[in-house]
């Protein structure tokens, strides 16, 4: 009788343990999936928070000058900061693209000329002699020199493409971070209240965090 009761209790215990294990597994899968989905946004959110904290005093002055209209001040911050980031980037990119097109056109038409190197180039440390030789060869016969350097040029093109892609990704993350910073500053008062509530719950009634 006792043995039967013990077996029943053991089955109940195993059933509860299995139920807990399944629930923990489901929670772990959900958390892992959420992390994978939101991990690309961790860096912009982090930088957005840092920017919001660093520029909050300036934002408060602008907000005060606008009569305490948080949304207007935040919108102005976002628009101005995006203009300061995007405008120089667009101008620089346009200049580089135009220069590359002109260079490619001159190369195809055979009118591109490379001036001969100065003699002092040979005296440059490490790369002086090899650079002088390649440069001199290009000034005499550019087409033959390019064909000779094809493998190195292919690697350089791949590296440049990778660098440009990385810069593009960094620009997108910067834009997202600035937008997040503007939104955080718009809602800074509500965020401060939430932070105070959390700090009081974590530290107890006798401990108050100095959160503005």
Inform me whether the pLDDT recorded for 212 exceeds 50.
no
Cα→Cα distances 45→48, 141, 143, 184, 191, Å = 5, 53, 49, 10, 15
pTM comes to 0.60
User: Can you give the pLDDT at residue 28?
Assistant: 86
Convert the pLDDT of each residue in 83-142 to its tens digit.
999 999 888 888 888 887 887 777 776 666 778 888 787 778 877 788 888 878 877 777
Convert the pLDDT of each residue in 133-176 to its tens digit.
887 887 777 777 777 777 777 787 788 778 878 888 888 888 99
């Amino acid at each position: 009788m006792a043995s039967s009761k013990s077996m029943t209790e053991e089955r109940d215990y195993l059933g509860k343990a299995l139920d807990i294990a399944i629930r923990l597994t489901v929670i772990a899968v959900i958390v892992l999936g959420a992390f994978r989905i939101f991990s690309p946004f961790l860096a912009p959110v982090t930088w957005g928070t840092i920017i919001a904290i660093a520029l909050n005093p300036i934002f408060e002055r602008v907000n005060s000058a606008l009569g305490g209209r948080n949304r207007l001040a935040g919108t102005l911050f976002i628009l101005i900061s995006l203009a300061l980031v995007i405008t120089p980037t667009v101008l620089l990119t346009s200049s580089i693209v135009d220069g590359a097109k002109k260079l490619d056109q001159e190369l195809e038409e055979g009118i591109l000329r490379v001036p001969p190197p100065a003699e002092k180039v040979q005296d440059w440390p490490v790369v002086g002699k090899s650079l002088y030789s390649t440069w001199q060869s290009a000034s005499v016969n550019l087409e033959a020199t390019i064909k000779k350097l094809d493998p190195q040029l292919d690697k350089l093109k791949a590296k440049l493409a990778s660098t440009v892609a990385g810069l593009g990704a960094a620009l997108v993350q910067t834009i997202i971070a600035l937008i997040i910073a503007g939104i955080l500053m718009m809602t800074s008062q509500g965020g401060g209240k939430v932070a105070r509530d959390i700090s009081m719950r974590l530290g107890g009634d006798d401990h108050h965090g100095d959160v503005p």
